Amino acid sequence: MNVVGVRGRTGQPTTGLLLERLSINRRWSLLGLGMLACVSILFACSTGALEIEPSRALSILWGKISGALTGSLPPDAAILLGIRLPRVLFAVIAGAGLGVAGAVLQGLFRNPLADPGLIGVSSGAAAGAVITLFFMPFLTAHQGGLGADWVTALGALAGGLISVLLVYKLSTKGGYTSTVNMLLFGIAINTVAGSLIGVFIYSADEARLRSITLWMMGSLASANWRTLFITAGLMTACLFGLLRIAKPLNAFTLGEQQALHLGVPVSQLKRRVIIWATLAVASSVAFSGLIGFIGLVVPHLVRLLAGSDHRVVLPGSALMGASLLVLADAMARITVAPAELPIGLVTSILGAPFLIFLLLKRRGSVPS
């Protein structure tokens, strides 16, 4: 029987009811994730060494937006607007970028265990930052007014982009880019980058070693309005480019041949995914250091809540990634206050059990 011809009691085609229901579920899912992001932001703005009541935080934010808050700021307003708010918004941007990048790469490789580090961007960024930190005394004298954080961020950004460019070029032959080869060359580049990191760590003195170790653990402590605006500009372009590929990515998950038959330009799709995902991850970790598991865990959580349609998964991963990184940063600030934990440790502690759960679930689904 033709499914399209089957009608329900209202006379509307069953497929029409199904599509309408999916559309409603998609909207409610995204609305719920958006509300979660708003609640997370408010919680993070209120939490810290100086506690600020949520109502007071909202009052300060509204006063700043409306222009009513002028002149000399009270201490809580100065801390919220000058230190805490740019850090929270930076976590929103970085988390959104990592979440969407993980979702598109899992769709591209058709592998639920894929994450941004698979193609070498994370290890490349780490190698670039480590090399920069190793030569920082020399670079500080020739950096033309840039702060040390900016020099390290540029090194990390360059390292991530170079690594992925190598993976992409090595995986492309005759105009065709093999995803299998990308995985294999990504492993090779990760190994090379890890070896470089090991060499420079072994050769570093105590001061350099501490700087390298802290960067690789990750922290949002250097976030300010200037770094926020730069990262926000890059991330806006990345998110715009990634969210536009939701429909062709749905077709690609059926297989390359099926996607070609449906009119999807497969080579162009791969190139767009790699470029935008790499730039999103590299710009996210440039100022914050390595942040693991967000790109791996977030897409799975969104799929559990809203299904596998990338029209939901991509924006949902942006909202969920923002929420989780904001909450992780708040936890990093309050757990050992007045000191703070590296945020990379917090995301690893939260993400590792979920990864174990995924592996056990996959093992249970494979016939013996």
pLDDT at 23: 65
* Tens digit of each residue's pLDDT (9 = 90 or more) over 53-110: 999 999 988 888 887 777 788 888 888 998 999 999 999 999 999 999 999 999 988 8
The answer to whether 248 and 264 are in contact (CB under 8 A) is yes
Neighbours of 300 (CB within 10 A): 22
Q: What is the distance between the alpha carbons of residues 259 and 263, in angstroms, rounded to a whole number?
A: 6
Q: What is the distance between the alpha carbons of residues 312 and 319, in angstroms, rounded to a whole number?
A: 11
Chosen CATH of 16-48+76-363 out of 1.10.150.120, 3.30.1600.10, 1.10.3470.10, 2.40.220.10: 1.10.3470.10
pLDDT at 329: 93
Q: Residue 174 pLDDT > 70, yes or no? A: yes
Closest CA to 312 of 20, 31, 97: 31
Q: Is 279 exposed, middle or buried, given 0-12, 13-18 or 19+ CB atoms closer than 10 A?
A: buried
Secondary element (H or E) of residue 300: helix 294-306
* Tens digit of each residue's pLDDT (9 = 90 or more) over 192-251: 999 999 999 999 888 888 888 888 888 898 888 988 998 999 999 999 999 989 889 988
Q: How confident is the model at residue 1 (pLDDT cuts 50, 70, 90)?
A: very low
Q: Residue 144 pLDDT > 60, yes or no? A: no
- The domain segmentation of the chain, as residue ranges, is 16-48+76-363
* Tens digit of each residue's pLDDT (9 = 90 or more) over 113-139: 788 888 888 899 999 999 988 887 665
- The secondary structure of the chain in percent helix, strand, coil, rounded to multiples of 5, reads 75, 0, 20
For a pLDDT cut of 70, what percent of the chain falls above it? Answer: 88
Q: What is the distance between the alpha carbons of residues 245 and 313, in angstroms, rounded to a whole number?
A: 12
pLDDT at 18: 46
pLDDT at 326: 95
* Tens digit of each residue's pLDDT (9 = 90 or more) over 273-300: 999 999 999 988 888 888 988 988 899 8
- Cα separation values, 61 from 76, 77, 109, 359, Å: 11, 9, 42, 43
pLDDT at 89: 95
Over residues 135-151, mean pLDDT: 62
Q: What is the distance between the alpha carbons of residues 355 and 334, in angstroms, rounded to a whole number?
A: 25
Residues paired with residue 177 on neighbouring β-strands, in sequence order: 172
Higher-scoring residue by pLDDT: 302, 362: 302
* Tens digit of each residue's pLDDT (9 = 90 or more) over 16-45: 554 455 566 777 888 889 999 999 999 999
pLDDT at 21: 56
